[in-house]
Amino acid sequence: MSKVLVGRDGPVTTIILNRPEARNALDLESIGLLRAAFIELERDDDVAVAVIAGAGASFCAGADLNEMAEKGAVYQPWAGEKGPLSRPLTKPLIAAVEGHAVAGGVGVALFCDMRVASETAVFGVFCRRFGVPMSDGTTVRLPRLIGYGRALDLLNTGRPVGAHEAQAMGLADRVVPAGEARSTAEAIARDMAEFPQTALRADRWSALNQMGLPMSEALRLEAEGAEEAKQTEARAGAALFSAGIGRGGTF
């Protein structure tokens, strides 16, 4: 079977890292397949939201160190210009984390908009002990997500972080019982797919691109990005509200 599986359920695509015998470590072939899956996801206008999970008991153990030892340091940066984690997708991506999301697996999880972690989840920069640096976006995305001090703790020590600590520091967004990460992530994805997508993507784009910009510039870009949704979705949505639909916290 393919090392990366792709399934579709209406507007939701699920990508499965499929090397359970290696804790879903990504070898060169897997990296290429993951990049291809992301490209196809972007091309498919009928897909609104995606989920990424690992087969078996782990999410992803990072780069395949057995292959690296055999072939040498042939891995190009996953967050480099041609890497699968180089820039955010135009559609939301949710990580469903069971078991280990370590080393480059943290990078894959951080690439996502959200991380749903089961109580079995373990995050950590485990490659610290082997002298393998991060080139998957972790050193950039982790401090922005959980703060400079906490990120340096994880990057310097390589220590394991369980699901509940990960949630407390902002690394995991939801914690669910063991075995329920994927089903929960897919349920969230289906809910998100039902929203008007132009407004959702405009707000998401603004949040992703405001980092480091002066306030005035960030607000200007927010207003520009919102204009299409105002023209195409907002009036119809306001009419629904006026008719009593969606009030009182009902979505």
Query: Where does the pLDDT of residue 241 fall: very low under 50, low under 70, confident under 90, or very high at 90 and above?
Result: low
Indicate whether 47 and 126 sit together in one domain.
yes
Q: Looking at residue 249, what is its pLDDT? A: 56
**Between 68 and 171, residue with greater pLDDT:** 171
Residue 247 lies in a domain: no
Residue 112 sits at the vertex; the CA angle it makes with 186 and 59, to the nearest 5 degrees, is: 70
Rounded Cα distance between 83 and 117, Å, is 25
Query: Where does the pLDDT of residue 107 fall: very low under 50, low under 70, confident under 90, or very high at 90 and above?
Result: very high
Sign, Cα dihedral of 227, 228, 231, 235: negative
Indicate whether 40 and 73 sit together in one domain.
yes
- In this predicted structure, the answer to whether residue 217 has a pLDDT above a threshold of 70 is yes
Indicate whether 114 and 216 sit together in one domain.
no
Rounded Cα distance between 46 and 11, Å, is 6
Q: Looking at residue 185, what is its pLDDT? A: 98
Indicate whether 163 and 221 sit together in one domain.
no
Q: Looking at residue 251, what is its pLDDT? A: 56
Whole-Å CA distances, 104 to 35, 63, 92, 134: 15, 6, 20, 7
Indicate whether 22 and 53 sit together in one domain.
yes
Last residue in a domain, options 156, 171, 193: 193
Number of domains the chain is built from: 2
Q: Looking at residue 73, what is its pLDDT? A: 58
Query: Where does the pLDDT of residue 28 fall: very low under 50, low under 70, confident under 90, or very high at 90 and above?
Result: very high
Indicate whether 180 and 202 sit together in one domain.
no
- In this predicted structure, the answer to whether residue 41 has a pLDDT above a threshold of 60 is yes
Q: Which domain holds residue 159?
A: 4-193
Query: Where does the pLDDT of residue 70 fall: very low under 50, low under 70, confident under 90, or very high at 90 and above?
Result: confident
Neighbours of 166 (CB within 10 A): 24
Per the listing, tokens 């989840």 go with 121
Indicate whether 100 and 151 sit together in one domain.
yes
Residue 250 lies in a domain: no
Lowest mean pLDDT among 25-29, 100-104, 131-135, 199-203: 131-135
Q: What percent of the chain shows pLDDT beyond 90?
A: 82
Rounded Cα distance between 49 and 83, Å, is 21
Q: Which helix (H) or strand (E) holds 5?
A: strand 4-9
Q: Looking at residue 238, what is its pLDDT? A: 64
Indicate whether 113 and 232 sit together in one domain.
no
Q: Give the CATH number for residue 221.
A: 1.10.287
Residue 249 lies in a domain: no
Query: Where does the pLDDT of residue 82 fall: very low under 50, low under 70, confident under 90, or very high at 90 and above?
Result: confident
| Average pLDDT of every residue of the chain | 93
Query: Where does the pLDDT of residue 43 fall: very low under 50, low under 70, confident under 90, or very high at 90 and above?
Result: very high
- Listed in sequence order, the residues at least 6 apart from 161 whose beta carbon sits closer than 8 Å to its beta carbon are 122, 123, 124, 154, 169, 171
Query: Where does the pLDDT of residue 119 fall: very low under 50, low under 70, confident under 90, or very high at 90 and above?
Result: very high
User: In the numeric block, which tokens belong to residue 133?
Assistant: 């640096």
Q: Looking at residue 229, what is its pLDDT? A: 87
**Between 221 and 241, residue with greater pLDDT:** 221
Indicate whether 230 and 182 sit together in one domain.
no
What is the three-state SS of 34-91? Answer: HHHHHHHHHHCCCCCEEEEEECCCCCECCECHHHHHHHCCCCCCCCCCCCCCCCCCCC
Q: Looking at residue 248, what is its pLDDT? A: 59
6-24: pLDDT as tens digits = 999 999 999 999 999 999 9
User: In the numeric block, which tokens belong to residue 111?
Assistant: 């690439």
Indicate whether 172 and 118 sit together in one domain.
yes
Mean pLDDT of 58-84: 87
HSE of 93, CA atoms in CB hemisphere, 13 A: 20
Mean pLDDT of 190-215: 95
